[in-house]
Structure 1
Amino acid sequence: MESILEIKDGCVTSEQLLRSYAFARYLKIYKKEYLEDLEKKGEKHSEEAKQKMELIANLTLKDIFQIFEREAKGADLEKDRAIVRFLDGCYHHYRNKSFSRLVRMHNEIVTSTSETQSSIKSKISDKAEELSELIILTRRRLLDKVGLGHGVSRSHGLDASPNVTAGEISGHFCNIPSTYSKIAYTNLTVTADIKTGIHYDTSVNKRAYPFYELEHNPLNLDNFVPEDWVAVPLKVGKWLIITYIHKSRGSIEMEPGLLNLFPFYKVDKDFTSKKPDGIFFFGYPGASKEDLGFYNDKKNDLLIGMVPDLPEYGYFGYCKKPILTLHNVLAILKGDFPLHCGCNRYVVGFDKDTDEPFISDIYIKADDMGKAEFYKNDKDKLKKLKFYGTEIGAFACLDGFSEQAKMQMIGREIGYNASYGTNARQIVPVAEESEVSTGSNLDILLYINNYDLKKPGETMVDTDMPVKDAIVHFHDGRRCAAGSTQTGRGGTEISYWANPFPLLKDNDGTIIHKDLYEKYTDTEEELISTIEKLVKTGDMEVGVAYSMLMAGVYEGNTDEKVLDSGFKNREEIEQEGPIRLAESLIVSVKEFAVKKREKLGKNMREVDVTVAMIGDSRTGKSETAEKMEGILNMNIA
C-alpha cells in the first residue's frame, strides 16, 4: 500500500527533527519518488539526471547536518545548495501531497478524571502548531545557510501541520465483543485537530453501488492487521459507531472529512462499559464486491458495515452513507422513524410594541439525516414527535451555493474532487453537537419537490392538503437527479421516503429488506396516525415545499415554462428557486409560531418552530437554509 506518514516523535529543535524516525521514513519515501521521476526524465536529459540521481541516492543524514556545521564555499556550497533544493522539494511534497498523522497517546482520559477529550484537544492542537513552526523554522535555517533564503523570511500564513493530529487511547478500553477482540488492538482516536482548507482527490466522485444488508458476515479478521487501521468512535445520533479507516492512500483521506462531519462519542471512565452499537470498515483489504453492505450480528447485538478496498468505492459518499445506514437500521429496530431531511429549529420572537413575529435565530438540527421519536409526557393528551439529528457537518455540493456562501466556507472545509467540475463537495461544520443530540418537537414536515416550476407570487410551501395526500409525496419520493448516482442529470428518480438508507423499496415496488421494511411500515402507520391527530389539533403541519433547485435541468421543463415562471434562463433557477422557497418558508414559520403561541400562552416572548424538509441529495435542503440565512442576515449555528 502507498504509505502515510505517522509522527510519534517529540521534537523541539531542528536537529531533533532531522534525526527523528518520522523524518527518516519520509525522506526515504520522497527519495524513492524523486529518483523514479528523474529516471523518467532522464531519457531526454540523461547527463543532468545522472548527476542529480547520484547526489540524492547517496544522500545521508551526515550530509544534511554538515550544512549546519560548515561555512561551505565553491563546489561544497553548490553541493549543499543542491541538497537543500532537494529538501525544499521534500518540504513542499509534505505540505501538498503527503498524508500525515501526529499521534499522542492519552489513556488518562479514561483512567483518571484529570483530563478530558476537550483538554487533550487543546494540548494536541498546540503540538500540531509547534510541529508546524519547527518544520518551517528548519526549512528557513537550511535555505539561509546556503544563501537561498530570499523570500522565505516571512512565513505568516504557511501551515506545515499534519493532516490529522490525534489524541488516542488503547482500543482495549472499549467493550468489544469477544468474537471481535482482535480489533481492540487498534488504538481509538478520541479527539483530533484536523488541518482544514484542504482538498483531496478520490478515485471516483459519485456513488454507483447500493449498500444493502448481507446474509453473511463480511468481516474476515484473518485480514485485519491492527496497526494498519485508524479507529474513530463516532456519535451518530444516540449510537456509538466505531469507524475503522485503512491507513493506505485512497482510504485514509476520508478521515478528515468524517471528523468534520460527525462528533466524537463521549469518552470518559464510563466508556469502558460501553459496547459499540455498530462497527464500520472502510477500505478493507481482501474484501470483495460481495462484501459491500451491512450485517446484523444478532448474537453479539452488533451491526457491521463493510466497504472493500476497491477503486470504485473510493468516494466520501461510501463513508457517509453506510454510517448513516447503520444509524437508520438501529433506529428502525428501536421503533423510531428515520428521516432523510434537513431540519432547522427557528426561534421566533414577538415585538414588544407591535407583537409582530420575527425570526431571531436559526439552529441546524440536521443537514441530511435525522429521526423522529414518539413520546408522550404525563401532561400530553396526544403522542408527539421529537426530532433528533446525526451530523454536525454538511457534505455540501457547491453547485447551488452563492459565491458569498462559498467564501464563508473557505478555511473551514474539507473538500473532495474540486477538479472534477460537477459534484465537487465540501464538508463544513454547520451545527452544534448539543443541538443535534437534543430532541425538539417536530412542528412542520415538508417533502421537497426540486423540479416543478412555480410562478412569481405562488406559495412555495403548500400545507393546505389532507395528510393522506401529503403522504403520497413522501411515499413517491420523486426528485430530479443531479447526476451523483446512476440516474442521469436532469432525469427523475423515485425513492420511498426519499431513500432514508437502507433502500427499503426499489423503484418498481420490489421490497428489498423485508424484515426492516415490515418494521418500518409498522412504525410508519403509527407516524401517520400521530401526524393526523397533531394536524387536526393544530399542533403540526405537513405538506410540500418547492425548491426548484434542479428545475433548470429537469428534462420535463420547456424553455417556455422557464420564462413563464419569471426566470431569464435555466441557469438562474438554481440560485433563485431556493430564495423563493426561503421567503415562503419564513412566512410559514412565523404564521405557525403565532398559532403555537396562542396554544402555549400569549405571555410567551418567543417560541420554537422546528421544520424538517424531506429530500434526497440536491433537493435544496442546505441551499434553502443558506438562502434564509442571507435573507435574515444571520449566521446559522
Structure 2
Amino acid sequence: MSETLYLHGNTAVINYNQGFPSRNVHVLNSKSFEKLISSYLENTDKYTIRRLKKICPNQDLTKEILDLTKQLHVYDLKDVNHPLVQDLRLVQDLIEDIYQYWREFQRCSVIYLGKKSKSDLINFIDKDTEFNKTILSFYRNLQEKAQGRSNKIYRQLKAGTNAAITVRQKKHLLPEAYQNLNHGMFIDSVLLHSPLLLHPNTNKREGHFQEVYENPIQDFDLDNNKFFCYPAKIGTLLAFVYFHKDFIFSGISLANIFEPATTEDIAARKPDIVIAFGVEDGKDDMVFYKDKPNDLVVAKLSYQPKLEYFGYMKKIMLTAYNVSMMDKGHLPIHGAMVNVFLKDGTKKGIVFMGDSGAGKSEIIEEITNLGGDKIEHMDVIFDDMGVFKINQSNQIVAEGTEIGAFVRLDDLDRSLPYQAMDRSIFMNPESTTNARVIIPITDYETISNEHPVDYFLYANNYDDKIGVNLFRNINDAKQVFIEGKRMAKGTTHEMGITTSFFANPFGPLQQEKLCRTLIDKHWDKLSENNVKVGEVYTNLGVVDRTEDSLKEAAKAVLDLLT
C-alpha cells in the first residue's frame, strides 16, 4: 500500500512504513492530517460549514484549520493570531468534532516486513501503542489549549487504531497455474484492541454461492497495494484468502474464528482452497470452482459494498471447505458439536444440525449455563460447520473448522457477550436486527482431531414443542435432516418457513447428487454405531416463545445425556 493514510467509507488504513508520527509535530505536518481535515469538511453538517465560512469567507477551509492547529500547538491561546479564535466555542467544537470523526473510522495499521525493511526490527505492538499515545496526546494538547485549562477527567481511549497487522511475502506451494498470486502479502501477525466494535453498513447475507466451470481467478491481477492474504486453517484444510483492503476488518476478524497458518505451514503444504474476496471486475459474482487437476477449490467474490458484512467472508470459506471435503468422501454438517464430560466420568459427543438461526450455538451456551451440577467441562468441536468422517474402524467421527463463533446477540444469554468482552469483536451491537459477536471459544488442536459421535440432533426452531424427540427408526429421521426446514429470522435474505437441502446451502445444496450419496453412506454408519438421532426444539423461530424456551430444550438435552 503506497499511501500513508487510506480512507474509504468508515475504514482507515495507516501504513507505518510510509510514515510514522512519533511526535505531535509529525502529525501536524503530515499529508495524512490534511487529508483527514479535508474528509471531515466534505462530510460534516452544513451548519458547521456556514459557521466557518462566516468567519473565513472565500478561504480554503482546510488550510485555515491547519493554520489554526499549528498556531495552537505552538502558542498559548492568547497569542494565537487567527480569525477563528474570535469564536472559541467554534474552535472547541471543531477540535472535538474532528477527533470524533477520526475515532468513528475503523482504524487498522499495517507494517510491511521484508529483507529491505527496517520494520523487521520493530516490535509492532510497541509501535502501535506509541501511535495511540501520540494521537491521544495530539488531541489533548489542542483541546486543553482551546479551553484554556487542563482537563479534570481523562479517558484513555484508543485514539490511534483499533487493530494492527504485519504482512510479508512468504514461501508457498501454490501450483504453477496460480503464479499471478506468487507475490501476495501474507498477514504474519494480528493485534486486536478488543473489545472491537465494528459497524458494517449491511447486517445480513444475501444470495447463494454458485458453482462455475471455468476458473474465476485465472485473469485476476493481484495488486499488493490493494490486497492482503489471510492464511487460514479451516479444520484440517489450508486456505489462502486474498481480500481487498476495503474489507480489512472482515479479514482481520478471521483471527477470532480461524486459526492462522504459520510460516512453516505455508511453506510445507499446498493450499486446499484459494479465495479472492473483493475483486474489482465490475461483476456481482459469488462463485466457486473445482480445479481438479490441481486439487484445489477456488472461489471469487466480486467487489460489492455488501461484502462488508462478515458473513460473506466466513461462509465462502466454509463453502469451499465443504466442497473440498465432499470430494474427499466426507459429509459436511451445518451445525455445532460439543464433547460433554460428565461428573460421573463419562463423555458424550453431541451434534446439533440446522441452518442459520436454528439455535445451534445458543443451545450449547444454555447447556453450559445449566449443567454445572452434572457437567465437569465441555469442549466445543465446532460451532457452525463441521464434517463427519468414517475412520479406519468404521466409526462415525467428527472434526471442526473454527476456533471461534459468529453468533447473534439476541439469541444469547444477556450476560454471555460481556463475560468474553475482552476478546470479542462486536458487529452493529446496537442494532435491533442481527447484531453479532465473534468470540474465540476453543483451540485448534481440539477442533482438528477426530471425535466420536453419540447423539445427532436436528435443531428445530419452528415447532412450538418442548424438549427432545428421538427417532425410533433412524431412517425416519433422514428426511427431516435432508428437508432442512427452519423459520428464517432475517439473518439472510430469507424470511418465514424455508427449506434448504440438508440444512446446508454452503456446498451440499450446489452438489446435491454427490451429497445424497454421502448421506446414505454415513447414515448407514450412524445406525451401525448406535448413534441416537432426533430433534431438539429450540423455539427460536416461534413468535411467542418465552425466554425460558431455550433453557427447557437445554434441560431436556442434559436429561438425555445423564
Secondary structure of the residue aligned to 1:73 is helix
Partner of 1:492: 497
Instruction: Name the CA shift for 1:395/1:98 in 2 (closer, same or farther; >3 Å).
Output: closer
Report the number of matched residues.
521
**1:385 and 1:148 mapped to 2: Cα distance?**
72
**1:106 and 1:193 mapped to 2: Cα distance?**
19
Partner of 1:474: 481
Q: Which amino acid aligns with 1:493?
A: T
Secondary structure of the residue aligned to 1:252 is helix
**2:323 and 2:97 mapped to 1: Cα distance?**
48
1:295 is aligned, of 289, 300, 310, to: 289
Q: CA deviation at 1:369?
A: 0.5
Q: Which amino acid aligns with 2:553?
A: L
**1:260 and 1:498 mapped to 2: Cα distance?**
25
Asked whether the equivalents of residues 323 and 508 of structure 2 are also in contact (C-alpha less than 8 Å), the reply is no
Asked whether the equivalents of residues 173 and 272 of structure 1 are also in contact (C-alpha less than 8 Å), the reply is yes
Asked whether the equivalents of residues 256 and 414 of structure 1 are also in contact (C-alpha less than 8 Å), the reply is no
**1:258 and 1:149 mapped to 2: Cα distance?**
44
Partner of 2:352: none
Asked whether the equivalents of residues 180 and 221 of structure 2 are also in contact (C-alpha less than 8 Å), the reply is no
Partner of 1:620: none
1:296-375 equivalent positions in 2, closer than 5 A? 296-350=290-344, 358-375=374-391
1:194 is aligned, of 192, 195, 203, to: 192
Instruction: Name the CA shift for 1:271/1:292 in 2 (closer, same or farther; >3 Å).
Output: closer
**2:52 and 2:133 mapped to 1: Cα distance?**
38
Q: CA deviation at 1:518?
A: 3.5
Asked whether the equivalents of residues 332 and 387 of structure 2 are also in contact (C-alpha less than 8 Å), the reply is yes
Q: CA deviation at 1:578?
A: 1.2
Q: Which amino acid aligns with 2:173?
A: N
Asked whether the equivalents of residues 77 and 146 of structure 1 are also in contact (C-alpha less than 8 Å), the reply is no
**TM-score (normalizing by structure 1):** 0.74
- Alignment pair present for 1:442 and 2:453: yes
**2:305 and 2:315 mapped to 1: Cα distance?**
17
Partner of 1:267: 263
1:369-388 equivalent positions in 2, closer than 5 A? 369-377=385-393, 383-388=394-399
Instruction: Name the CA shift for 1:152/1:241 in 2 (closer, same or farther; >3 Å).
Output: farther
Instruction: Name the CA shift for 1:47/1:77 in 2 (closer, same or farther; >3 Å).
Output: closer
1:98-109 equivalent positions in 2, closer than 5 A? 98-105=106-113
Range 410-419 or range 178-187, more displaced:
410-419
Q: CA deviation at 1:406?
A: 3.6
**1:28 and 1:478 mapped to 2: Cα distance?**
55
Q: Which amino acid aligns with 1:328?
A: N
Partner of 1:586: 558
Q: CA deviation at 1:393?
A: 1.6
Q: Which amino acid aligns with 1:521?
A: R
Secondary structure of the residue aligned to 1:341 is strand
- Alignment pair present for 1:544 and 2:535: yes
Partner of 1:229: 227
Q: Which amino acid aligns with 2:177?
A: T
1:81-230 equivalent positions in 2, closer than 5 A? 86=94, 88-105=96-113, 123-145=123-145, 148=148, 150-151=150-151, 154-156=154-156, 158-170=157-169, 172-219=170-217, 221=219, 223-230=221-228
Q: Which amino acid aligns with 1:7?
A: N
Partner of 1:415: 426
Q: Point out where structure 1 has 5 or more consecutive residues left out of the alignment.
A: 109-114, 378-382, 505-512, 554-569, 591-637
Q: Which amino acid aligns with 1:401?
A: L
Asked whether the equivalents of residues 24 and 137 of structure 2 are also in contact (C-alpha less than 8 Å), the reply is no
Asked whether the equivalents of residues 330 and 387 of structure 2 are also in contact (C-alpha less than 8 Å), the reply is yes
Q: Which amino acid aligns with 1:14?
A: R
Q: Which amino acid aligns with 2:502?
A: W
> 1:338-380, CA deviations, whole angstroms, 9 ceiling, x for partnerless residues?
100111111112289xxxx931001211111111121135xxx
Q: CA deviation at 1:36?
A: 2.4
Asked whether the equivalents of residues 366 and 436 of structure 1 are also in contact (C-alpha less than 8 Å), the reply is yes
**1:53 and 1:375 mapped to 2: Cα distance?**
75
Instruction: Name the CA shift for 1:210/1:140 in 2 (closer, same or farther; >3 Å).
Output: same
> 1:99-153, CA deviations, whole angstroms, 9 ceiling, x for partnerless residues?
3323252779xxxxxx9xxxx9x94334333322232233333444555554376
Partner of 1:14: 23
Secondary structure of the residue aligned to 2:439 is strand
Partner of 1:393: 404
Asked whether the equivalents of residues 461 and 546 of structure 1 are also in contact (C-alpha less than 8 Å), the reply is yes
1:255 is aligned, of 233, 251, 256, to: 251
Asked whether the equivalents of residues 423 and 484 of structure 1 are also in contact (C-alpha less than 8 Å), the reply is yes
Q: Point out where structure 2 has 5 or more consecutive residues left out of the alignment.
A: 1-5, 347-372
Q: Which amino acid aligns with 1:501?
A: F
**2:316 and 2:522 mapped to 1: Cα distance?**
25
Q: Which amino acid aligns with 2:481?
A: F
Q: CA deviation at 1:317?
A: 1.6
**TM-score (normalizing by structure 2):** 0.83
**1:314 and 1:18 mapped to 2: Cα distance?**
29
Q: CA deviation at 1:238?
A: 0.8
- Alignment pair present for 1:286 and 2:261: no
Partner of 2:62: 56
> 1:157-193, CA deviations, whole angstroms, 9 ceiling, x for partnerless residues?
x1124232112221x4222223322323231003201
Q: CA deviation at 1:52?
A: 10
Secondary structure of the residue aligned to 1:479 is strand
**2:233 and 2:138 mapped to 1: Cα distance?**
39
Asked whether the equivalents of residues 233 and 260 of structure 2 are also in contact (C-alpha less than 8 Å), the reply is yes
Secondary structure of the residue aligned to 2:534 is strand
**1:212 and 1:130 mapped to 2: Cα distance?**
46
**1:435 and 1:256 mapped to 2: Cα distance?**
22
Partner of 2:506: 501
Q: Which amino acid aligns with 1:581?
A: A
> 1:519-560, CA deviations, whole angstroms, 9 ceiling, x for partnerless residues?
32332222111111111xxxx322221112212x2xxxxxxx
Asked whether the equivalents of residues 6 and 101 of structure 1 are also in contact (C-alpha less than 8 Å), the reply is yes
Asked whether the equivalents of residues 539 and 545 of structure 2 are also in contact (C-alpha less than 8 Å), the reply is no
1:562-577 equivalent positions in 2, closer than 5 A? 570-572=544-546, 575-577=547-549
Secondary structure of the residue aligned to 1:325 is helix
**1:259 and 1:101 mapped to 2: Cα distance?**
16
Instruction: Name the CA shift for 1:544/1:147 in 2 (closer, same or farther; >3 Å).
Output: closer
- Which structure: greater strand fraction? 2
Partner of 2:240: 242
**1:525 and 1:146 mapped to 2: Cα distance?**
74
Asked whether the equivalents of residues 125 and 193 of structure 1 are also in contact (C-alpha less than 8 Å), the reply is yes
Asked whether the equivalents of residues 223 and 286 of structure 1 are also in contact (C-alpha less than 8 Å), the reply is no
Asked whether the equivalents of residues 501 and 512 of structure 2 are also in contact (C-alpha less than 8 Å), the reply is no
Range 8-17 or range 195-204, more displaced:
8-17
> 1:544-592, CA deviations, whole angstroms, 9 ceiling, x for partnerless residues?
21112212x2xxxxxxxxxxxxxxxx152xx2221011111112122xx
> 1:179-209, CA deviations, whole angstroms, 9 ceiling, x for partnerless residues?
3223232310032012333333334322221
> 1:211-246, CA deviations, whole angstroms, 9 ceiling, x for partnerless residues?
011122222645532220121001111111111121
Asked whether the equivalents of residues 71 and 80 of structure 2 are also in contact (C-alpha less than 8 Å), the reply is no
Q: Which amino acid aligns with 2:560?
A: S
- Root-mean-square deviation (CA), in Å? 3.2
Q: Percent identity?
A: 24
Secondary structure of the residue aligned to 1:240 is strand
